[in-house]
């Protein structure tokens, strides 16, 4: 059995374990579910290391490798936040998200090909790692926003909306957790754009060329920048906290759609075929 298949199975088992943890609220299952998820992450990371050794270059030079790396970064961000907060149902959905990313990766061309000279740069390493960590955080914030919108109608009152047990964030406080995830991922996204600009200058002579990938990267950055600052504006517009939290949750759903369009959707547009940033053109 291939390492990718083992990783997929481990993410599936982790998802089931997290659901069992939610049903039985068992301390033992809590650690089992986290342990299985970490095992899946280790399988994911091991594949990336093995691929890097086999290919002779960092394992994100094409869409297949980048998707596997994306799944790994998503899992890493979840693990970090799992140790900070006592998550409940998020683990099951985070496992599913990583699994879906890997499943989509298996549909791509997995062959190893020589990379173009411009990709043989340490700036590519910094650029992709920071970008994917940002994307991973945004993926988990997408999950927390979905949960928030699902449970919001069942919140009885404002007082219950503020209940915390120890370091555990209750289901109704996922709007706050979404904000923390975006605040964690946004600096990585910013570093990704900055390192990408420096890399472009060294590789092609210009920091910014306004090709489709660069333009949509900027749109992604602006979408999350606006999300982080909008909560400061809503009170001045007399928008209640309850309404603003719903607006921001929907905002994150749209923003994550922009992330995936920037990362994957642009690859299928004929107008972007000549871009140096599009995997399909490599």
Domain segments of the chain as ranges: 1-110, 120-282
Do 47 and 68 form a contact (C-beta atoms < 8 A)? yes
Question: Using CA of residue 155, residue 159, residue 161, residue 164, what is the dihedral sign?
Answer: negative
Whole-Å CA distances, 13 to 45, 136, 180: 18, 20, 27
pLDDT band at residue 21 under the 50/70/90 scheme? confident
| Mean pLDDT score, 34-58 | 92
C-alpha–C-alpha distance, residues 11 and 40, integer Å: 6
| Mean pLDDT score, 169-175 | 65
pLDDT band at residue 166 under the 50/70/90 scheme? very low
The tens digit of pLDDT for each residue in 200-246 reads 788 777 777 788 888 889 999 999 999 999 888 887 777 777 788 88
Which two three-digit tokens encode residue 164? 């915390």
Confidence check: pLDDT of 263 > 70: yes
Model pTM score:
0.87
Name, of 112-116, 134-138, 149-153, the range with top average pLDDT.
Answer: 134-138
Lowest mean pLDDT among 33-47, 191-205, 229-243, 255-269: 229-243
The tens digit of pLDDT for each residue in 99-120 reads 999 999 999 888 887 777 666 7
């Amino acid at each position: 059995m291939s390492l990718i298949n083992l990783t997929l199975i481990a993410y599936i088992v982790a998802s089931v374990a997290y659901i069992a943890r939610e049903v039985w609220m068992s301390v033992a299952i809590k650690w089992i579910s986290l342990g299985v998820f970490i095992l899946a992450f280790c399988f994911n990371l091991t594949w990336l290391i093995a691929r890097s050794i086999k290919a002779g270059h960092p394992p994100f030079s094409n869409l297949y490798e980048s998707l596997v790396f994306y799944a790994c970064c998503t899992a890493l961000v979840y693990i970090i936040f799992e140790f900070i907060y006592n998550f409940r149902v998020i683990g099951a959905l985070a496992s599913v998200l990583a699994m879906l990313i890997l499943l989509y990766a298996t549909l791509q061309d997995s062959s190893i090909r020589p990379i173009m000279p411009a990709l043989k740069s340490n700036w590519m390493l910094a650029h992709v790692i920071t970008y994917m960590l940002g994307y991973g955080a945004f993926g988990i914030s997408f999950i927390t926003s979905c949960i928030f919108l699902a449970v919001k109608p069942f919140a009885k009152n404002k007082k219950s909306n503020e209940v915390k047990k120890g370091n555990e964030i209750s289901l109704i406080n996922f709007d706050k957790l979404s904000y923390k995830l975006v605040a964690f991922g946004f600096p990585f996204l910013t570093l990704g754009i900055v390192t990408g600009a420096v890399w472009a200058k060294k590789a092609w002579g210009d920091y910014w060329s306004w090709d489709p990938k660069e333009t949509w990267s900027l749109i992604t950055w602006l979408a999350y920048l606006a999300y982080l600052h909008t909560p400061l504006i809503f009170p001045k517009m007399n928008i209640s906290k309850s309404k603003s939290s719903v607006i921001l949750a929907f905002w994150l759903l749209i923003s994550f759609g922009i992330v995936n369009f920037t990362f994957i959707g642009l690859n299928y547009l004929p107008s972007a075929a000549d871009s140096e940033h599009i995997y399909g053109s490599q």
